[in-house]
């Protein structure tokens, strides 16, 4: 019984100290749980931030690509073969070429674009003129492709005959 009595007396004397220790231990346990929850939330927020940063990079790249596509669409706004023939005539005239004939060959329609081919026969004085013509055609904002190209020399004259098939791509809106 003395042991029980000694324990009871010890508890009575130190009850404030024991209570304070219990409160401190309880506070430590609660603060550790709060810290663990906050640490988890911080990790989740960092992951979300990294994902948003990556999404922003992708969005920025998409915006740049969209601007490029719109620029191409603006340059591919030729509506018909008549406009193609006018451009070719102007380019030929600017380098001193004489067009013998120019005619549309019929549209080729795809899902997203229309190909507008034109056949051109012209008389040229030199290969230099052909080079200048092709260079100017190539630097035109419209997207020209040369589908076929034939040069022949007229036997009675010094002039060259140039026959080519040129196409322009038009984006379908």
For the segment 21-54, what is each residue's pLDDT rounded down to a tens digit? Answer: 888 888 888 888 888 888 888 888 899 999 999 9
Of 145, 94, 101, 142, which Cα lies nearest the Cα of 123? 101
pTM higher than 0.75: no
Q: Where are the beta strands (DSSP E) in 56-154?
A: 98-104, 108-109, 113-124, 144-153
The mean per-residue pLDDT over the stretch 106-135 comes to 87
C-alpha span between 137 and 135 (Å, rounded): 5
Residue 75: the pLDDT is: 62
Of 130, 167, 135, 168, which Cα lies nearest the Cα of 150? 130
Q: Look at residue 73 and tell me whether its pLDDT is greater than 70.
A: no
Tokens describing residue 16: 């404030």
Supply the DSSP symbol for 100.
E
For 63, 67, 110, 150, 160, the CA distances from 105, given in Å and listed in that order, are 37, 32, 16, 17, 23
**160-171 vs 98-104, strand pairing mode:** unpaired
Per the prediction, the chain carries an average pLDDT of 84
Q: Look at residue 11 and tell me whether its pLDDT is greater than 80.
A: no
The mean per-residue pLDDT over the stretch 3-12 comes to 76
Each residue's pLDDT tens digit, 137-148: 888 877 788 889
Supply the DSSP symbol for 157.
S
Class of the CATH domain delimited by 81-171? alpha beta
The mean per-residue pLDDT over the stretch 94-117 comes to 87
Residue 46: the pLDDT is: 93
- pLDDT grade for 120, boundaries at 50, 70 and 90: very high
Residue 156: the pLDDT is: 67
Q: Go through 76-109 and write b for each residue having 16 or more CB atoms within 10 A of its CB, e for each that does not.
A: bebeebeebbebbeebbeebebeeeebeeeeeee
Q: Look at residue 56 and tell me whether its pLDDT is greater than 80.
A: yes
Nearest-5° Cα angle at 66, 65 to 69: 85
Each residue's pLDDT tens digit, 151-164: 888 766 777 888 99
């Amino acid at each position: 019984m003395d042991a029980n009595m000694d324990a009871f007396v010890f508890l009575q004397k130190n009850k404030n100290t024991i209570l304070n220790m219990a409160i401190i231990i309880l506070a430590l346990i609660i603060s550790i749980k709060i810290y663990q929850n906050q640490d988890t939330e911080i990790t989740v927020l960092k992951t979300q931030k990294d994902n948003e940063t990556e999404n922003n990079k992708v969005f920025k790249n998409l915006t740049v690509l969209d601007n490029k596509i719109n620029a191409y669409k603006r340059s591919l706004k030729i509506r018909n073969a008549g406009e193609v023939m006018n451009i070719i005539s102007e380019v030929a005239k600017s380098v001193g070429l004489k067009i013998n004939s120019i005619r549309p060959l019929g549209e080729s329609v795809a899902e997203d674009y229309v190909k507008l081919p034109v056949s051109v026969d012209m008389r040229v004085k030199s290969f230099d003129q052909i080079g200048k013509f092709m260079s100017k055609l190539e630097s035109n904002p419209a997207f020209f492709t040369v589908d076929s190209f034939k040069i022949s020399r007229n036997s009675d004259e010094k002039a060259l005959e140039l026959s080519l098939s040129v196409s322009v791509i038009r984006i379908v809106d």
